[in-house]
Structure 1
Amino acid sequence: MKKSTLLHAELSYLVATLGHTDEVTICDAGLPVPDQVQRIDLALTHGVPGFIETVCTLLSESQIEGVVMAEEFQQVSPALHQSLMGLLQEEQARMGREIAVTYLSHEAFKQRTHQSRAVVRTGECTPYANVIFQAGVVF
């Protein structure tokens, strides 16, 4: 049995096959998933699994160098946005590198998800709880 944090087979495979600058979207239960992008659906019920716990699990297994979020996330759901920003600050401290943060309109964000290798759907029901991770390298 796998010893590390991430046990979900599809997510584990995704992380293991990411290349530099590949993008992965982690989203709430309502974000539309483009037909041509792999959907990894984790949603069980409202709030399960949550956005933050899904982000934490992916951060434990993958190197990121950038994130993209909708401007509306910061405005409409400030508490959850601040929780994500705190996790990113902790990750920056662990890595010793800065993580670039970019904001787009929600409409532009949805279009950007078309470039993702996969969209990971959570059970989160907080408006605009979506983030795109851009893969980095460990060297």
Structure 2
Amino acid sequence: MLKGIPSILSPELLKVLMEMGHGDEIVLGDGNFPAASHAKRLIRCDGHGVPELLEAVLALFPLDTYGDQPAQLMAVVPGDPVQPVIWETYGEVIGRHLPGVPVGQLERFAFYKRAKEAYAIVATSESALYANVILRKGVVT
């Protein structure tokens, strides 16, 4: 046990966050995301949702300010009537850690392709639809 480390962050996830370098990406996937079939490194965070995990990760993890859109969401598939209200929560969480950071959207299959190249994928039990997010690590200053 360490002081100041959010308890939701497992030793395995902390290790991965430490290993990642500037420009590396990590995916926080919802419960429907095909994490196991897409991951180079799979980290399970069963029983947890993405917002609480996002808050904990961003407490330690700088987002990349040298490139465009260091946070990317999976865009709603055209014709799908879902309105992902969880995106508002993500914007609030990200804004607390890096005000004004632009959050982008990637088409579903472009998101999957990028996820396959990510340093790691975190599988959660998030039940909200379109709750997947890719984070690009920045520089610790």
TM norm structure 2: 0.83
Q: Distance in 2 between matches of 1:20 and 1:104?
A: 21
Are 2:71 and 1:67 equivalent residues in the alignment? yes
Q: CA deviation at 1:80?
A: 0.5
CA contact (8 A) 2:26 2:135 kept: yes
Q: CA RMSD in A?
A: 1.8
Q: 1:28 aligns with which of 24, 27, 30?
A: 30
Structure 2: stretches of 5+ with no match in the other structure: 65-69
Percentage identity across paired residues of the two chains? 26
Aligned-partner residue type, residue 87 of structure 1: V
Aligned-partner residue type, residue 20 of structure 1: H
TM superposition outliers: structure 1 runs of 4+ over 4 Å: none
Q: CA deviation at 1:24?
A: 0.3
Q: Distance in 1 between matches of 2:91 and 2:97?
A: 10
Match of 2:27, SS state, is strand
Structure 1: stretches of 5+ with no match in the other structure: none
TM norm structure 1: 0.84
Q: 2:90 aligns with which of 79, 84, 101?
A: 84
Could you say which residue in structure 2 is the equivalent of 1:12? 14
Could you say which residue in structure 2 is the equivalent of 1:3? 3
Q: Distance in 2 between matches of 1:110 and 1:79?
A: 21
Q: CA deviation at 1:36?
A: 5.2
CA contact (8 A) 1:77 1:126 kept: no
Are 2:114 and 1:115 equivalent residues in the alignment? no
Count of equivalent residues: 130
Could you say which residue in structure 2 is the equivalent of 1:106? 108
Structure 2 vs 1, CA of residues 90 and 107 (structure 1 numbering), >3 Å: closer, same or farther?
same
Correspondences of 1:26-65 after superposition (within 5 Å): 26-33=28-35, 34-35=37-38, 37-43=40-46, 48-65=47-64
Q: Distance in 2 between matches of 1:4 and 1:42?
A: 20
Q: Distance in 2 between matches of 1:136 and 1:9?
A: 21
Q: CA deviation at 1:26?
A: 0.3
